[in-house]
Amino acid sequence: MYYMMHCPDPEVGYLAMLDYDFSEDPDPLRDWMSADRFDEPPPLPVRVTVAPRPNSVIGEMWQVPLPIMSKRLLETLTKGSVSNIDSYPLVFEMPDGSIRQDTHVAFNLIGKISTVAQRGYIKGGNELLGGVRLNEEAIGDALMFRLAESVNAIVVHDSIKAAIQAAGIDTLQFIAPESWTG
C-alpha cells in the first residue's frame, strides 16, 4: 500500500512562509521538483528567509519554494531504507535577523515513477471524483518517490508511513491515493 505524504498547516497557527532567492544559484535551470539528480550541488548552505507572519511555525516539511524537511524526518527515512534523497545543509534566516540552523535540510527526492493507472474514479452512478489509482507493479520496490504525472506528489510505502509514525512524527498526513486531490 502506498500513500501521498503531505504536511498541512498545524492545528494552531500556520506553516511559516519561506523565501528562497533562486538568482543566487549558479544553475539557473535547477529544478528541485524534477526528481533528477543535480549535476552540481546548490550553493551551501542553502539559505531560506522566513517571512514575518503571526502565529507561524517551522514545519516538518515544505515543498515550496523548495523541498525542505526536518533532520529528524530525514533520519527516520534513512533508517527506513529510503536511499534516494540528496540532502543539503540549510539555514533559516529568521524575521528577527537571527539564524537557525541544524534543524532542517533542503532535499532533492531522486526518482519519479509513472504509475497512475486511473485518474479519478467512479462512485455510484456516473459521478467522477478526485484521486488516482496507482499501478503498484510499476512501482517495483520503491519506498519513496515523486509521482511522474504530478511531481508535487510525494508517494511513500506503508513501511515508511509506519516508520514515520513510530518515530513520533505526527505533523504529516498520509492520504490514500484514491482520496488525493493533488
| Domain chopping of the chain, boundaries | 12-109, 112-179
Picking from 70, 147, 149, the residue whose alpha carbon sits closest to that of residue 111 is: 147
pLDDT of residue 10: 83
Lookup: cell for 175: 492520504
* Bond prior to 43 in cis (omega within 30° of 0): no
Alpha helices, DSSP H, located in 7-149: 71-79, 136-139
List, for residues 34-49, the tens digit of each pLDDT value: 999 999 999 999 999 9
pLDDT of residue 84: 98
Give me the sign of the Cα torsion angle 155, 33, 120, 11.
positive
List, for residues 72-131, the tens digit of each pLDDT value: 999 999 999 999 999 999 999 988 888 888 899 999 999 999 988 666 554 544 444 567
Mean pLDDT along residues 130-144 = 89
